[in-house]
């Protein structure tokens, strides 16, 4: 099989590679890495990148990281996919070494390495991910936000608020808004900064950012956001209105009852359903008449939500 790795036919070399990988012999990893580095056929190099993903070793991670700079897209993608499947946090320092200064690294390499680091959730990724927020490439910044969000390190909160409100890319702003709701210990001053950033994001030009902000405010049960979330019920995009209704339910502030009840007649059934569920969370008997009117809604999911709301409010009223 080793001899067939030198065959002229790329198909023969690829099959030999697969046969060698099936033996699961660590002694054969060196020739497989050699195929990844130097086989003339991109299809064979890509296959080598895929099979090497089954081994979690420093030298294999080194080889895959080098392959991220391969001239062929398929090889780079295969190497990135194998790295993203790593499970051992012990390999994080190897990835960090290849990442270098992510803000200045080749964008594809930085994105792939940061994505792999995100899955490992190792503290060694914190500093390079923080620096990567300054990258000129939006994809790198997006992956950096993902790493910082999963690490839940309080030192990242203020940088993430700046990203959530000032990054030029809407996808990056949206990811940063979501990362602010992923938990972790924070000081009162940081909590105030987070709330301010989320309230600003609720007015973002991109509806996807506004939607994520409403979701995060509900997750954090930020009572200070009540008025802003009530205003978001009139957002031009129903997706934002839906998340605002869901967030208001989590706040459980009865002052939202009238506005939520007004959504029970909305043309979009998903909004009617979320409004009914949110009204149940308020546990306010004053909204029972509006729920009674919605009990005959043509959508079975809305009727189910109304029944759930009745059960919640009925317990409180009793």
The confidence score (pLDDT) of residue 182 equals 84
The confidence score (pLDDT) of residue 316 equals 57
Residue pair 224/194 in contact by the 8 Å Cβ criterion: no
The confidence score (pLDDT) of residue 183 equals 67
d(CA 228, CA 253): 13
Write down the CATH number for the domain with range 1-85: 1.25.10.10
The confidence score (pLDDT) of residue 166 equals 97
d(CA 216, CA 219): 5
235: region left, alpha or beta (phi > 0 left; psi from -120 to 50 alpha) = beta
Residue pair 247/218 in contact by the 8 Å Cβ criterion: yes
Tokens of 48: 């080598």
State in words which class domain 257-318 has.
Answer: mainly alpha
End-to-end CA distance of the chain: 77
d(CA 191, CA 239): 26
Helix ranges (H only) for the chain are: 10-22, 29-38, 42-52, 58-67, 73-84, 92-99, 107-120, 126-132, 138-151, 157-166, 170-179, 188-201, 207-220, 226-232, 238-251, 257-262, 269-282, 288-294, 300-317
Residue pair 116/95 in contact by the 8 Å Cβ criterion: yes
pTM of the model: 0.89
The C-alpha torsion from 251 through 160 and 165 to 249, rounded to 10°, is -10
Query: Do 1-85 and 257-318 share a fold?
Result: yes
Residue pair 168/131 in contact by the 8 Å Cβ criterion: no
- Alpha carbon of residue 316 to chain centroid: 37
The confidence score (pLDDT) of residue 191 equals 86
The confidence score (pLDDT) of residue 318 equals 42
d(CA 207, CA 232): 11
**Going residue by residue through the chain (318 aa), what tens digit of pLDDT does each one get?**
888 999 999 999 999 999 999 998 999 999 999 999 999 999 999 999 999 999 999 999 999 999 999 999 999 999 999 999 999 999 999 999 998 876 667 999 999 999 999 999 999 999 999 999 999 999 999 999 999 999 999 999 999 999 999 999 999 999 999 999 986 556 777 888 999 999 999 999 999 999 999 999 999 999 999 999 999 999 999 999 999 999 999 999 999 999 999 999 999 999 999 999 999 999 999 999 999 999 999 999 999 999 999 999 986 554
Taking the domains of the chain in order of start, what are their residue ranges? Answer: 1-85, 257-318
The confidence score (pLDDT) of residue 184 equals 59
């Amino acid at each position: 099989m080793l001899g067939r790795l030198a065959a002229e036919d790329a198909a023969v070399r690829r099959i030999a590679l697969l046969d060698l990988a099936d033996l699961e012999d660590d002694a054969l990893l060196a020739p497989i890495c050699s195929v990844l580095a130097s086989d003339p056929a991109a299809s064979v190099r890509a296959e080598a990148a895929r099979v090497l993903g089954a081994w979690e070793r420093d030298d294999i991670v080194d080889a895959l990281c080098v392959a991220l700079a391969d001239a062929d897209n398929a090889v780079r993608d295969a190497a990135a996919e194998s790295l993203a499947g790593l499970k051992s946090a012990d390999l994080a320092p190897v990835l960090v070494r290849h990442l270098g200064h992510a803000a200045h690294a080749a964008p594809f390499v930085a994105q792939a390495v940061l994505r792999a680091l995100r899955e490992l959730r190792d503290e060694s990724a914190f500093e390079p991910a923080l620096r990567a927020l300054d990258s000129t490439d939006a994809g790198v910044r997006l992956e950096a936000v993902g790493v910082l969000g999963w690490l839940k390190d309080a030192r990242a909160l203020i940088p993430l608020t700046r990203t959530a409100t000032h990054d030029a890319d809407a996808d990056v702003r949206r990811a940063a808004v979501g990362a602010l709701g992923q938990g972790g210990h924070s000081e009162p001053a940081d909590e105030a900064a987070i709330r301010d950033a989320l309230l600003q994001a609720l007015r973002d030009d991109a509806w996807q950012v506004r939607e994520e902000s409403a979701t995060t405010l509900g997750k954090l049960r930020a009572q200070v956001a009540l008025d802003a979330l009530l205003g978001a019920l009139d957002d031009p995009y129903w997706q934002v209105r839906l998340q605002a209704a869901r967030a208001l339910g989590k706040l459980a502030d009865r002052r939202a009852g009238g506005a939520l009840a007004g959504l029970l007649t909305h043309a979009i059934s998903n909004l009617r359903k979320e409004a009914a569920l949110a009204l149940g969370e308020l546990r306010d008997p004053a909204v029972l008449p509006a729920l009674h009117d919605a009990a005959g809604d043509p959508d079975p999911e809305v009727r189910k939500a109304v029944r759930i709301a009745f059960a919640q409010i009925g317990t409180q009223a009793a």
